[in-house]
Amino acid sequence: MKTKKLTTLGLSAALALILSYVESLLPPLMAVPGVKVGLPNIVILFLLYRYGWREAGGVSLIRLLLSAALFTGFAAFFYGLSGAVLSLAGSTLLKKSGRFSHLGVSVAGGVLHNLGQITLAALVLESGYLFAYLPVLLLSGTVAGAVVGLLAGILIRRADVR
């Protein structure tokens, strides 16, 4: 791996971790538990466009591990991982299709992230009733994905990443 790329990925992981911490300090956006903007995903979306899914996924995994160790605990790691895997897979497919802007890719990623987390929660708790929470999560995933997409879009354009 080239030094510049390795340095960029290392700094990206650090920035994503810092954004996780900053997000943990923010008051809840809604009266609904678990709803967040997903600020670290600005970095992940940027990396998806700059390098590809492997690098974006690697930085996401490192960020999740460090965040779990430092802030949230390892139960949160598995929920974050379930959302991140589904989100990255869907975002990668939509990006490769060429039919969606970075905003559309991000909104889909936000919705898929929430879908992955609620699915894991339903499996762990053995309760389909958790899917009643899905409309709120779909709405929040759409809004969060739009915010992340707009902010990542600025970075993508300024770095001239296609």
| CA–CA distances in Å: residue 29 to residues 35, 49, 84, 137 | 7, 28, 21, 13
| String of DSSP letters for 83-120 | HHHHHHHHHHHHHHHT-S-HHHHHHHHHHHHHHHHHHH
Residue type, 77: F
Q: What is the pTM of this model?
A: 0.90
pLDDT tens-digit map of 98-148: 999 999 999 999 999 999 999 999 999 988 888 888 898 899 899 999 999
pLDDT tens-digit map of 27-84: 776 666 667 889 999 999 999 999 999 999 999 999 999 999 998 888 889 999 999 9
Q: Is the pLDDT of residue 92 over 80?
A: yes
Q: Burial of 23 by CB count in 10 Å (0-12 exposed, 13-18 middle, 19+ buried)?
A: middle
Q: What domains can you pick out in the chain, each with its CATH number?
A: 3-27+36-158 (1.10.1760.20)
CB distance 109 to 41 below 8 Å? yes
